Amino acid sequence: MCGIAVIVSGIKIVLSSLDPNFISPIPLLEQQTLFSVDDIKEVLRRRGPDSLGCKKVLLRSGVSSLPGGEQDVVAFVEDEAPREGKDSHMDGGAAKEFIRELQFIGATLQLRGINPIIQPLVDISGNILVYNGEIFGGIQMSSDNNDTEVLMQHLGLCCPRVSSPHNKAHTSGDRQSTVPELLSRIKGPWALIYWQSSSRILWFGRDAFGRRSLLVHWPTKEDPRFLLSSVSPHASVNESSESANGDGIAKIDFWEELPCGVYSLSIGALGTEDYLIGEVLKHDWTDPKLKELITWERTSVQPKSEDLCASHQKVYSRKEDSPLTPSILMESKLASTDCLLTSLPHRVMIALQESIMRRTALNTIYQATSVDYTNKCNTPVAVLFSGGLDSMILAALLDKCMNAKYEIDLLNVSFDGPFAPDRISARAGLKELQKIAPSRRWKLVEIDADLLKLTSETKHVMSLINPARTYMDLNIGIALWLAASGDGCLQGETGNDDTCGSVKYKSAARILLVGAGADEQCAGYGRHRTKYRNGSWLGLNDEMKLDMQRIWKRNLGRDDRCIADNGKEARFPFLDEDVIRILLDIPLWEIADLNQPIGIGDKKILREVAHLLGLSEAASLPKRAIQFGSRIARESNRKNFGSNRAANQASAGSVTIHRNNS
C-alpha cells in the first residue's frame, strides 16, 4: 500500500466537460491554506512506512519556438527544497513570485521488487509517477519486478492523444498506446498520478472498481489549489465551502471521492494574469472486456420454471455428525464436445483460488526492507476474520495457496469481549479450519476494544473516513482500523511461565485479505431480499448492479484508508476481474435463491463453495455486518444516543456526525 498526492498551485482549473456549472476561482498570489505539505506527508507516511519522497515541477510561460511564436509552458523538475522569495507562506519580502507548480508526494509500502523504491519516480524524460496499486495482469510482470517501475517504463512509451482548446493533441507516425489505453489493460487495484512532461499533461485516476482510495479537492474560492491525495490531512476534516446552484446555497465538503476513471489535466499558457489554464477531461475505458464488467450486465436474470426445477434438483446430502458432502454436480454436455463442464460452485472456487494466489504470491523483495517476507516474517498474509462465510472461504483457500511453513493470522475485533457474535463465530471458525487443515498453524488474533476509551482514536478514524460522515461509516471505520492493526491476544498460547492462557501478539502481516464485494455480487444484504420480494428477479438484479456500481463510493475508499493507515495493504479477492466475470456468467438463480430462508438462499453459490471446501458449519451462517457482529454499533448507539432504541428512532445509520462535537 502506498500514499500518493499532488498539489497544483497557480493554475486556473477548467471543469466545463465534467461540470458545466463549475466556476473556476482565480489563483491567488497570497493564500491561506488549511494544511501544510508536511501535514499531507504525515498521513501518507502511515500508509507507506518504507520510504517518502517529494518532487516539484516548476512551470514557466514563455514564447514557443514553434512557427508563430505562441505562448508556451516550460516545465522544470526539482527535488523539494525551500525557494527563497517564492513561497506564499513566507512572511515579508516584496518580491514574491507567483507560484505555478505541481508538487508530487509519494510514500511507499514495498511488497515487490529487488531494488528499493522511493516515490515519486522520475525518468530521463522528466516524467513523474506516484502509484498506489498492483499489476496482476494486463502488463507483463516477473517475480522480481516492482509494479511502479514496470508501469513507469510502459507509461514512458505512451503517446499523448488529448485534444482540448488549451492543449493541442500530439501524435506520432507510429501507433503507440495512449495512457488511457495502457491503464485500461491493467488487472488489479490502482490509483495513480502521472506527469507526462512532453505534453504537459497531468494524468490521474483510479481503477474501474475504485479498489484504491484517491480523494480530490476541486478549487474553491477559499482554496483555489487543485489537490489529489490518498487520504485527507487532519486539518481538512471539518472544512466545507458554499456553492451556489439553482436550488440555492449548498455545502460542499473540502474533499470528494474521485469517481473511478482516467482523467487528464492539460496545462496551457492562456491566462491573462500570471496563472496558467488547466483543462480537466475524463477519458473512456478502452478495453472491451473491462467495459463489460463495468456495465455489469448478466446474461441470465429471469429463470423459467424448468430452470428453477433443475436448480432445486442439485441436492446436497447431509450425514449425521459429519460435514455436508456435495453430490457430484455436473452440467449437461456441450453440444459440440463430449466434455462435461465443471460444476458452477467449483468454477467459482477455482476463480477465487486463482485470485488469492495472485494476491498472496511472495515476490522477491530487496533485503533492506523493514519486513523481508521470505526470510524474517513467518506470517506474511492475514485475513480480516469474523468466522463468517466470506472470511472462512478466504482463509480455507489461502491455506491452499501458501506454503505450509507459513502461519496465517486471523484478525478478529470485538467490542464485547467473548460475547460479540463475531468473536463466537471466529472461535468456531478456527476449530473448523483446524479440522480441514490440521497441519497449518492458524493464529486467531483477538483484538478487544472499549469504545468509550477510544477518544483520540475515534477522532483519528474520522479523518480517515472523510469525506464519509455517518455513524455507520465511523463504526465500520473504527472496527476495520483496529482489526487491521493486528494488535491483540492469542488464546491458549504458552507464555513465558509455561502456563497456557492469553498472550499478547501483534501481527506482522502486511497483506490483508478482505471479503469486500461478496455481498454485492451474491445477494448478501437484507435489502436484496426486500427488492426480490417487491420486484422479483429483475428488481434483485437491478439492486445488485447498483451496489456494484457504487461500491467505490460507499465502501472501498473508506475501507482502503482505514486499513492502509496501519501500514498494511488490503486485497479484495472477490473483486478480482476474473471472479467478477465468472459470477456474471452464472445465472442469477444459481447465485442466490431468495425464496429460501436466510442462511440458505442468500449467497447460495458461496455456500456451495464452502461445502466443497468442507466448511459445513460456515456454509449455513447468516450475513452479519462488521458493525453488528463486533457490537461496535450497539456501543456507539449507547454512547451517542443513550440506547439502541433511541438510535433506531433517529435512524442512526444515516445520521451525520457533527465532527467538532465528537
pLDDT for position 310: 77
- Report, as an integer, the average pLDDT of 118-144: 94
Would 268 be classed as within a structural domain? yes
Q: Is 357 found in the same domain as 234?
A: no
Burial category of 297 from C-beta neighbours within 10 Å (exposed 0-12, middle 13-18, buried 19 and up): exposed
In a domain, 322, yes or no: no
| 271 and 362 fall within a common domain | no
Overall number of domains in the chain: 2
User: pLDDT by residue (tens digit) across 222-233?
Assistant: 888 999 999 999
Residue 520 has pLDDT above 90, yes or no: yes
pLDDT score recorded for residue 373: 45
Instruction: Write the pLDDT tens digit of every residue in 452-475.
Output: 999 999 999 999 999 998 999 999
Do 276 and 352 sit in the same domain of this protein? no
Angle made by CA atoms 360, 362, 364, in degrees to the nearest 5 = 150
Measured distance CA(507)–CA(514) in Å, rounded: 16
For residues 564 and 491, membership in a common domain is answered with: yes
Q: Compute the CA torsion angle 638, 445, 565, 524 (nearest 10 deg).
A: -70
SS3 annotation, 563-627: HHCCCCEEECHHHCHHHHHHHHHCCHHHHCCCCCCCCCCCCHHHHHHHHHCCCCCHHHCCCCCHH
Confirm whether pTM is higher than 0.85.
yes
Task: For residue 157, count other CB atoms closer than 10 A to its CB.
Answer: 9
Q: Which residue has the higher pLDDT, 454 or 170?
A: 454
pLDDT tens-digit map of 56-93: 999 876 644 444 445 566 666 767 654 443 443 334 44
171: number of Cβ within 10 Å: 13
* pLDDT for the residue numbered 648: 67
Give tens-digit pLDDT for 534-575. Answer: 979 999 999 999 999 999 999 999 999 999 999 999 999 999
Q: What cell does 230 get? A: 490518498
What's the confidence (pLDDT) of residue 199? 92
The pLDDT value given to residue 24: 79
Instruction: Report the mean per-residue pLDDT for the chain.
Output: 84
pLDDT digits (tens, 9 = 90+) for 585-601: 999 999 999 999 999 99
The DSSP-derived string for 163-213 is: -BTTB-----SS----HHHHHHH-BS-EEEEEEETTTTEEEEEE-TT--S-
Task: For 282, list phi and psi in degrees, rounded to 5.
Answer: -105, 135
C-alpha 294: how far from chain center:
16
pLDDT at 74: 66
Tell me what pLDDT residue 82 has. Answer: 45
Least confidently predicted of 265-269, 393-397, 413-417, 640-644 = 640-644
CATH of residue 287: 3.60.20.10
Cα–Cα distance for residue pair 448/471, rounded to 1 Å: 20
Q: What are the CB-based long-range contacts (under 8 Å, 24+) for 324-327? A: 324/611, 324/616, 324/619, 325/611, 326/608, 326/611, 326/612
Give the domain range for residue 30.
Answer: 2-79+98-160+178-238+252-292
Sign of CA dihedral 355, 391, 211, 488: negative
pLDDT at 268: 85
Give the pLDDT confidence score for residue 85 in this predicted structure. 37
CA distances in angstroms from 296 to 242, 293, 350, listed in the order given: 36, 5, 21
Question: What number of helices (H) and strands (E) belong to the chain?
Answer: 19, 25
Quote the pLDDT of residue 554.
94
> Considering the domain boundaries, does residue 589 fall inside one?
yes
pLDDT mean over 396-421: 96
On whether residue 300 sits in a domain, the answer given is no
Alpha-carbon gap, residue 656 to 467, rounded angstroms = 11
CB atoms near residue 41 (< 10 Å): 19
User: What pLDDT digit, counting tens, does each position of 471-494 carry?
Assistant: 999 999 999 999 999 999 998 765
Q: Locate 122 and state its grid cell.
A: 522520475
At residue 35 the predicted structure's pLDDT band, cuts being 50, 70 and 90, is: confident
Spell 393-415 as b/e; 16+ CB within 10 A means b: bbbbbbbebbeeebbbbbbbbbb
Which phi-psi region, left, alpha or beta, contains residue 326 (left: φ > 0; alpha: ψ -120 to 50)? beta
Does residue 426 carry a pLDDT above 50?
yes
Over 50: is that where the pLDDT of 524 sits? yes
Q: Give the DSSP per-residue string, 470-532.
A: BHHHHHHHHHHHHHHHTEEEEEEEE-TTS-EEEEEEE----EEE--TTHHHHHT-SHHHHHHH
320 falls within a domain: no
CA–CA dist 201, 175 (Å, integer): 19
Is 494 within a domain? yes
Over 70: is that where the pLDDT of 165 sits? no
Number of Cβ atoms within 10 Å of the Cβ of 18: 13
DSSP H or E segment with residue 251:
strand 248-253
pLDDT of residue 272: 59
Q: How far is 310 from 318, CA to CA, in rounded Å?
A: 20
What is residue 571's predicted lDDT score, i.e. its pLDDT? 97
Longest dimension (CA), the chain: 88
**Cα distance between residue 518 and residue 392, in whole Å:** 12
pLDDT at 16: 85
Q: Are residues 357 and 261 part of one domain?
A: no
Q: Please say whether the beta carbons of 50 and 90 come within 8 A.
A: no
Which CATH number covers residue 417?
3.40.50.620
State whether 272 and 383 are in the same domain. Answer: no
pLDDT at 240: 57
Q: Establish if 548 belongs to a structural domain.
A: yes
Pair 12, 24: CB distance under 8 Å: yes
44/107 same-domain check: yes
Same domain, 538 and 397: yes
Decide: 377 and 369 in contact? Cβ < 8 Å.
no
pLDDT for position 65: 46
Mean pLDDT across 13-21:
87
- Residue 96's closest CA among 85, 104, 107? 85
pLDDT of residue 71: 55
pLDDT for 568: 96
> In terms of domains, do 151 and 277 share one?
yes
- Write the CA distances from 78 to 6, 192, 224, integer angstroms: 14, 20, 23
pLDDT for 361 equals 86
Q: Which burial class, exposed, middle or buried, applies to 170 when counting CB atoms under 10 A from its CB (0-12, 13-18, 19+)?
A: middle
Domain identity same for 497 and 404: yes
448 and 349 in a single domain? The answer is yes
Angstrom distance (rounded) from CA 166 to CA 180: 20
Q: Which one is predicted more confidently, 383 or 20?
A: 383
Output the CA torsion sign for 204, 210, 215, 219. positive
Confidence of residue 651 (pLDDT cuts 50, 70, 90): low
Which cell numbers in the block locate residue 137?
495482469
Residue 44 has pLDDT above 80, yes or no: yes
Pairing verdict, β 215-217 and 201-206: unpaired
Local structure of residue 340 (DSSP, 8 states): B
When mean pLDDT is compared across 174-183, 465-474, 530-539, 612-621, the lowest value belongs to 174-183
| Complete edge-to-edge strand list for the sheet that includes strand 442-448 | 500-506, 487-494, 442-448, 408-414, 381-384, 511-513, 569-571
Position 660 in a domain: no
- What is the spatial distance between Cα 416 and Cα 530, in angstroms, rounded to a whole number? 30
Distance CA 457, CA 451 (A): 9
Question: How do residues 268-318 score in pLDDT, each as one tens digit?
Answer: 866 556 678 999 999 999 999 999 999 999 989 988 877 777 777 664 433
Domain identity same for 275 and 403: no
> What are φ and ψ of residue 338, in 5° steps?
-95, 0
